């Protein structure tokens, strides 16, 4: 697929695409921005190789897609409240940040629509990011199962990782990032278990193992059983794309229909990424 300005190369199954022939360091002309948004809507994850960007340029590109999202519980860069430095030092012993399947900040009333990650220092081994397609995972379910789960609402909370007694409040050995556990993280919101994408109109499963803690109206045991099935189904290899990074690559993904999982495998090497989010709407069934 090509346009006058872009070269878009999708993966074989259509989930994920590389975009070339565009310079993100400058404001995108309206037609090019339209094509970028169209490719993003079609493929869920897109990446732009060879895009050296300053902080100002990263922020400016983000704002072409929408207002900044709200990024709690992680200290941002100095003087850059909308940029998180996702850093793991070479001698760090803490777990990989984001190293479990999740959708960014789904515990918010209006979770971010888009996450943008810009690679600054890429280790020579490891560090891939896995993405799972919630649209195809939904479409692969039987009509009977779809009809059963479509009306359900799931409960989301950040208490597990970011609560006052959560994982990050108890961990040791993290040097590259400052996590900010809070009692505020213990709040909960409900969202449709199956949400309709506001741009494409396609339905996707909208639950994840980190922030989805139950199903409204079900007992704890019932909710956990259903969620366990869905988590395993969503992350089946049929729906997963493994993304390999290079320095100065910018990758963005659609939190409304994708899960992601940061892998490790680079102990002894430093890895640095700069991350922004684009605000989203309240999920709708």
Active site residue 275: yes
Contact 116, 275 (CB under 8 A): yes
Give, as one character, the DSSP assignment of residue 283. Answer: P
Active site residue 197: no
Contact 251, 243 (CB under 8 A): yes
Residue 239 CA to residue 234 CA, distance in Å, equals: 7
Residues 87, 88, 191, 275: which is the catalytic one? 275
**Phi, psi at 272, each rounded to 5°:** -135, 125
Active site residue 191: no
Kind and range of the H or E element at 221? helix 220-234
Residues 35, 71, 104, 133: which is the catalytic one? 104
Residue 80 CA to residue 255 CA, distance in Å, equals: 22
Active site residue 104: yes
Contact 156, 265 (CB under 8 A): no
Nearest to 61 by CA among 75, 76, 44, 40: 40
Residues 82, 102, 191, 274: which is the catalytic one? 102
Residues 118, 260, 271, 274: which is the catalytic one? 260
**DSSP string of 98-126, one letter each residue:** T-S-B-TTTTSSS--SEEEEEEEE--SS-
User: Token pair of 99, please?
Assistant: 């190293």
CB atoms within 10 A of CB 153: 17
The label of the residue with tokens 């989010």 reads 277
Task: Report CA-CA distances (Å) from 241 to 38, 104, 131, 226, 236.
Answer: 20, 17, 5, 24, 10
As a whole number of Å, the CA-based R_g of the chain is 18
Active site residues: 102, 104, 260, 275
């Amino acid at each position: 697929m090509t346009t006058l300005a872009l070269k878009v190369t999708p993966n074989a199954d259509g989930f994920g695409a590389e975009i070339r022939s565009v310079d993100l360091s400058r404001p995108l002309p309206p037609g090019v921005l339209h094509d970028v948004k169209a490719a993003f809507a079609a493929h869920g994850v897109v990446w732009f190789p060879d895009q050296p960007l300053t902080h100002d340029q990263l922020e400016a590109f983000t704002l072409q897609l929408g207002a900044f999202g709200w990024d709690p519980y992680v200290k941002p860069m100095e003087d850059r409240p909308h940029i998180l430095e996702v850093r793991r030092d070479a001698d760090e012993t803490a777990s990989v940040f984001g190293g479990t399947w999740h959708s960014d900040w789904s515990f918010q009333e209006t979770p971010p629509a888009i996450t943008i990650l810009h690679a600054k220092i890429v280790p020579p081994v490891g560090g891939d990011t896995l993405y799972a397609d919630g649209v195809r995972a939904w479409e692969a379910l039987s009509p009977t199962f779809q009809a059963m789960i479509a009306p359900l609402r799931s409960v989301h909370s950040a208490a597990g990782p970011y609560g006052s007694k959560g994982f990050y409040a108890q961990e040791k050995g993290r040097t590259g990032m400052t996590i900010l556990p809070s009692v505020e993280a213990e709040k909960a919101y409900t969202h449709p278990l199956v949400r309709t994408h506001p741009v494409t109109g396609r339905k996707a499963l909208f639950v994840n193992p980190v922030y989805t803690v139950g199903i409204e109206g079900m007992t704890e045991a019932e909710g956990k059983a259903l969620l366990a099935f869905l988590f395993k189904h969503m992350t089946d290899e049929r729906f997963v794309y493994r993304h390999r990074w290079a320095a100065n690559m910018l990758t963005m993904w659609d939190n409304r229909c994708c899960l992601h999982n940061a892998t490790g495998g680079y102990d002894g090497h430093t890895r640095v990424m700069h991350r922004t989010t684009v605000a989203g709407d309240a999920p709708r069934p």
